[in-house]
Amino acid sequence: MKILVINGPNLNMLGKRNKVIYGDKTLSELDATLKKEAQSLGIDIVSFQSNSEGKLIDFIQEHSSEADGVIINPGALTHYSFSLRDALADSGLPAIEVHLSNIYAREDWRAKSVISPIARGQITGLGWRGYLAALRTLVSELKGESRE
Ligand code: DQA
């Protein structure tokens, strides 16, 4: 089983950008944590980050046929990128949307996600642990484990 872990604009700055909001783990540390969890779950993950909307879409188009699911933090693209939303929808893969911060407890414009209507679910405000929760949930569902 293979899961794509996709991070959008500015998430390469984790560990440097506002640590009160986004925590102090860097993106490499986050990726390492996810890789370790993936190993213990017996699955593969492919991580990708870009500051460019087009590169994120290219990555989804190029890798979706070999993947089983997606975990994505689209950064600010969450709030307005219909083309990223379309790429995710077109991939046909179950996608869990993750945000480090609670997007409903910040500026009004962050409370709107154009991604969530096509996502399997959304985890927001749980910091890096949200990615782990997303990974465990997605893998459990893909393995066909019961939701009850
Ligand atoms: C974010 C929330 C977005 O509003 C913001 O633009 C980000 C990060 C989060 O992880 O909390 O870049 O997606």
What CATH number does residue 76 fall under? 3.40.50.9100
The pLDDT score that the predictor gives to residue 147 is: 65
- As a whole number of Å, the end-to-end CA separation of the chain is 23
Distance CA 18, CA 39 (A): 30
Contact 110 CB / ligand 1 (< 6 Å): yes
Q: Is 123 helix (H, G, I), strand (E, B) or coil?
A: strand
Q: Is the CB of 23 under 6 A from ligand 1?
A: no
The token pair at 120 is 């399997």
- Domain, as residue range, for 53: 2-142
Return the pLDDT at 121: 98
Task: Give dist(CA 105, CA 117) in Å, integer.
Answer: 19
Q: pLDDT 10s per residue in the chain (148 long)?
A: 999 999 999 999 999 989 999 999 999 999 999 999 999 999 999 999 999 999 999 999 999 999 999 999 999 999 999 999 999 999 999 999 999 999 999 999 999 999 999 999 999 999 999 999 999 999 999 999 876 6
Residue 42 within any structural domain of the chain: yes
Residue 96 falls inside a structural domain: yes
pLDDT at residue 122, as a whole number: 98
Residue spans of alpha helices (H) in 18-117: 19-22, 27-41, 53-63, 82-91
List the one residue out of 35, 83, 33, 44 whose CA is nearest residue 67.
Answer: 44
Pocket probe for ligand 1: among 50, 73, 128, the residue whose CB has the most ligand atoms within 8 Å is 73
Determine, yes or no, domain membership for 147: no
Q: Please tell me the total count of domains within the chain.
A: 1
Is pTM beyond 0.85? Reply is: yes
Residue 47 lies in a domain: yes
Q: Evaluate whether residue 148 is within a structural domain.
A: no
pLDDT, position 145:
87
- Residue 76 alpha carbon to ligand 1 centre in Å: 6
On whether residue 70 sits in a domain, the answer given is yes
